[in-house]
Amino acid sequence: MEIKGKKFLITGGAGFIGSHLCERLLKEGGKVVVLDNFRTGKMANLQAVKNSIKIIKGDIVNVKIVRQTVRGCQIIVHEAFPYGVSGMGLNEQYIKTGTVGTFNLLRSAVEQKIKKFIFASSVSVYGIPKYLPIDEKHPIDPFLPYGATKRAGELYCSTFFKLYGLETVSLRYFYIYGPRYSVFDHSALVNFVNRSLRKKPLLIYGSGSQVRDYTYIDDAVEATIMAIKKDNLGGKVYNVSSGAPVSILELAKKIKQLSGTESKIQSARDKQYRYVPFCQVPVGMTGRKAGRWTDERNYTADLSLVKKDLGYFPKVSLENGIKKTIEWLTTQPK
């Protein structure tokens, strides 16, 4: 599908991924409408393109606003979800945004005869990995409400393809990072970069041998653009990652080296942190307390399918991605 001349609706367009995607679509000749409730999105993220796009403040849970915004668009890229503030607490799950909001968009897409619908899913749908690397046929067994909500979105997408013929594609992003990320992000990489520049200790939870597959924002955007351009992908699901796993301890060492920080790398096992057994968070625990648990999961993606179908090959190495992120963060107000 040609991007030039097409009108795109980007939900969550003022957020981390959405704002980068807006810039890329404009460069490719697309027209962009952003729908964002600005819970976590920022107008500052759209500073470079605000005069070239249409920005609507509204919530995807409101079907009336969704219908009005979708009108006249050809493609929807659904990135809206307040991930940066979604935690372990029962009051931090944003189920309506992830389910009702997604349904509203799909419903409106069918009503308005939208050509393609791209859904931002997540590695969290897999739950605790049964094997590595994780391919798209891996069992789906989310253990966090966030993952369950993303899985519900995937199911809605595949159902709308089978029932109504709406061409939907779900992208399971693996740990995206880079300029404009939220300082509230749960990512160890984001946390380490922030702390290193503030000369605070880089805290290691658990053994530090946990493996993660971090994806630089430019690669995530590239995969999304490829999914838009490629035809006949209805109902498909793809992993999107760097394909270059790193342990949490090695990550801390790399960030310490690249940032030139005086920060020490140390265990978080002290009186400040309250440990509970893995995946056993007592009911009622919310916010930061609910996040203080040892996570020993390992995640690395098998990219065979996305390489085969879309021609996606990640280009930004972890080292270069961290350098770019540090450069960006040092230019931000304290």
| Catalytic annotation, residues | 156
* Gyration radius (Cα) of the chain, Å: 19
Q: At what angle do helices 63-70 and 101-111 cross, to 10 degrees?
A: 40
Q: How many CB atoms lie within 10 A of CB 117?
A: 25
What's 185's DSSP letter? Answer: -
Task: Find residue 56's DSSP bridge partners.
Answer: 35
What's 264's DSSP letter? Answer: P
Whose CA is closest to 213, among 246, 239, 189, 185? Answer: 246
Is residue 63 a contact partner of residue 99, using CB atoms and an 8 Å limit? no
Expressed in percent and rounded to 5, the helix, strand and coil fractions of the chain are 40, 15, 45
How many Å apart are CA 284 and CA 89, to the nearest integer? 7
How many Å apart are CA 176 and CA 124, to the nearest integer? 13
Residue type at 6?
A: K
Is residue 301 a contact partner of residue 133, using CB atoms and an 8 Å limit? yes
Residues 6 or more apart in contact with residue 196 via CB below 8 angstroms: 202, 255, 256, 259, 261, 263
CA neighbours closer than 13 Å in the CB half-sphere of residue 221: 22
Task: Find residue 11's DSSP bridge partners.
Answer: 35, 78
Q: How many CB atoms lie within 10 A of CB 333?
A: 3
Where do we find the tokens 């249409």? 54
